[in-house]
Amino acid sequence: MRGFDVFYHACNSCLNEKCLGSFLNEDRENFKQYCNYHTGSFIQNYGLMVILAIAPIILGYAGTVACRLHMQKFSFNLALLLAPIGSYVFLYFTGLCKNENLLEGEIKCSAVESNDLYITNSIIAVLTFSIMLICWHLWWPSCERMAKLERLFSLPIVDGLLVPLSLLFRRRLDHLDEKDHKKEAQNDTENKPRRRKTRPLVYVCATMWHETKQEMTQLLKSLFRLDFFHSQNQMAEKNFNIELEYFEVKIHVIFDDAFITDAKTRNRKPNKWVEQLVNCIEEAAESVAKGKIHWDSQPRKVLTPYGGRLVWTMPGGTKMIFHLKDKDKIRHRKRWSQIMYMYYLLGYRFMGSIGDEGYSECAQKRKIKKNASILNHFNRPTYKKAANTFILTLDGDVDFKPEAVNLLLDRMKKNIKVGAVCGRIHPIGSGPMVWYQKFEYAVGHWLQKAAEHVFGCVLCCPGCFSLFRASALMDDNVMKRYTTPPEEAKHYIQFEQGEDRWLCTLMLQQGYKIDYCAGADALTYAPETFNDFFVQRRRWAPSTMANIIDLISSWSTTVKENDNISSLFMFYQLVLLMSSLLGPGMVTLMIAGSYSAVFSFNAWYGLLLAVLPVATYVFVCIRTKNDIQIKVAGSFVINVRDCHGYCYSWNADQSII
């Protein structure tokens, strides 16, 4: 007690006696009035100053975002031009200027006469017209997307009093310098074509299996949109001599398990899924073109060592190649399909195109990466070419637009250390299971991926719609290690069931950053039945834990190698892993507590009743086949739902009684 008295007297001498007395005497009403008085006086004295200090920061950030996202005309120009006019109209119709005591009597604004009002309106109209003339160039912006702040604005400081005018006048002119104009005119007179910048090359790589006709048509529509988008920009650039932002496209689709054995000839032939694909080509092209089009819809057939190949020349001139895999000749499953197109495009096509000239003779003197890497042996043009080449991974049922791919490319152009970018996935379909997955996907993107993007790196780029940089895939311990065959049970879980997450884990351990772009939307079909949903999540959950454990086990090396991952971020992942492991046990204890509370059971009886279904299902998973496990899981879900509904109704009846 003596220590408490010393502490009390020390606090009493330091703090305000009135405030401390209100605490000790529990005079809450007086303390509340004291706080309200001082809070109100602070707002009254300093509120305007706080607003003037915070508003320029918020408006400056919002204006920068609007210009970087090419929303300048409506969200920047129009809003800032209407702000002064709107303020004057608000003051006029609310009659604030008629108050003689507007701001604590310091600023007096006498009543406005009719003549004075006419002069004021004329001055405001002239000033507004002059501002519009000065800022006339802002209605035709020509800067690139996601431009830097120095590229958009001349000064980094915003005026705190005249924020709209300051933002408008700070916006730079998006035109070429005088020297560039002279060079351009000289080139035009000499009839020399302008030197255009190197465009990104995007390999669109989709993996297909036994999708339905609707799913195949959805993917083909997206591919035809890419072809039309590329051809339109190419023709506009060629005919009108303007430089547009687009990318080169090459389409490769890997069709897994595409052959069956003919019962009569015993030869291998394409199965019904390939025939369904060929029938969907014409329908998808007409749907995108919104009418009948004339083009060669018959593919060129090529026999290959792994099966076969179907080659289409799309209406816009883009080559679309379908690689038909025979599982008797080459490994099947999605991971091996990804390995196939990575080694074909990056190993055979890219490395074969650079030849001996693409390697640097002084690799020991110049370092692209600080550690040993194959990239250190590339010369500068070869490395730039590899860094400007991308692979867009798709599933066989995805639906997207070319604008979404442009947004992913913007993330890649912003930072060369970004190895992969994923967009936002929207599940589509019908039924209660799809409704639940829409909510789950929304929470996962809004909270989990956004938090990972801010605190460190995104841990997984889904293979249904993600963009990978070729130089990152070609780096040591990424693409080569991705080909490791499973030798243990944990390898099968990590390598085969979660191939997308494992590839991202390898890139993170190699030092690359993975970004998330919320504006790049893609639609994909979600499981509509409980059986399909259960099988999908049974693959995802163990593979997610296995890859997180692998990432955490390399804590020190990953933090040292990757500049975007900190020890605090790894601790955050460890906490999430522990919560996932403890989650089932916590749910079981909550169910046991509800049994004890509702039925007045002994705590041990309630715990036994809650653990019994879990133990039963564990035994079923160990001793029975896959189909029986799914049926038992479905029956447990129905029984638990009915039991909880009965408990709720019984508890409600007891409360009424």
pLDDT along the chain (657 residues), means of 10: 48 49 53 63 74 79 77 78 78 62 50 62 81 78 69 70 77 57 47 61 93 92 93 85 82 93 86 92 90 86 92 92 92 91 91 69 52 73 89 93 92 90 91 90 87 87 92 89 87 85 92 90 90 86 90 90 89 90 88 81 84 88 85 76 59 54
Chain-centre distance for alpha carbon 474 = 23
Asked whether 322 and 273 are in contact (CB, 8 A), the reply is: no
Regarding beta strands 248-255 and 319-325, do their DSSP bridges make them parallel or antiparallel, or are they unpaired?
parallel
Any idea of the CA torsion for 399, 403, 408, 413, to the nearest 10 degrees?
160
The DSSP-derived string for 158-196 is --SSSHHHHHHHHBPP-S--HHHHHHHHHHHHTTPPPPP
Cα angle 473, 474, 476 (rounded to 5 degrees) comes to 100
Structure tokens at 344: 């074909």
Residue showing tokens 């004339």: 294
Predicted TM-score (pTM) above 0.85: no
Q: How large is the greatest C-alpha to C-alpha distance in the chain, in angstroms?
A: 102
How would you list the strands of the sheet with 465-469, edge to edge?
300-304, 307-313, 319-325, 248-255, 201-208, 389-395, 465-469, 418-428, 513-525
State how far the Cα of 535 lies from the Cα of 421, in Å rounded to an integer: 27
State how far the Cα of 120 lies from the Cα of 113, in Å rounded to an integer: 10
Helix, strand, or coil here: 175? coil
Structure tokens at 555: 């804590």
Regarding beta strands 465-469 and 268-270, do their DSSP bridges make them parallel or antiparallel, or are they unpaired?
unpaired
Residue 407: is it exposed, middle or buried by C-beta count within 10 angstroms (0-12/13-18/19+)? buried
Q: How many CA atoms lie within 13 A of 156 on its CB side?
A: 3
Structure tokens at 118: 């006419």
Instruction: Report the DSSP beta bridge partners of residue 420.
Output: 468, 514
Write out pLDDT tens, residues 587-598. 888 888 887 887
Alpha helices, H only, 515-625:
530-553, 555-561, 567-599, 603-623
Which pLDDT score is estimated for 178?
40
State how far the Cα of 631 lies from the Cα of 530, in Å rounded to an integer: 10
Asked whether 208 and 219 are in contact (CB, 8 A), the reply is: yes
Chain-centre distance for alpha carbon 623 = 41
State how far the Cα of 251 lies from the Cα of 223, in Å rounded to an integer: 8
State how far the Cα of 326 lies from the Cα of 344, in Å rounded to an integer: 17
Q: Which of 476, 530, 537 is nearest to 506 (CA)?
A: 476
Which pLDDT score is estimated for 186?
52
Cβ count within 10 A of residue 170: 17
Asked whether 610 and 592 are in contact (CB, 8 A), the reply is: yes
State how far the Cα of 502 lies from the Cα of 546, in Å rounded to an integer: 9
Structure tokens at 371: 């550690």
Structure tokens at 563: 């500049």
Alpha helices, H only, 456-498:
470-474, 479-482, 489-491
Q: Which of 272, 287, 317 is nearest to 219 (CA)?
A: 287
Cβ count within 10 A of residue 640: 12
Structure tokens at 259: 């052959």
**Which residues have a Cβ under 8 Å from the Cβ of 372 and sit 6 or more positions away?**
476
Instruction: Report the DSSP beta bridge partners of residue 251.
Output: 204, 320
**Which residues have a Cβ under 8 Å from the Cβ of 564 and sit 6 or more positions away?**
417, 456, 457, 513
Domain positions in the chain are 34-170, 581-656
Which pLDDT score is estimated for 35?
62
**Which residues have a Cβ under 8 Å from the Cβ of 492 and sit 6 or more positions away?**
486
**Which residues have a Cβ under 8 Å from the Cβ of 410 and sit 6 or more positions away?**
145, 146, 517
Which pLDDT score is estimated for 250?
94
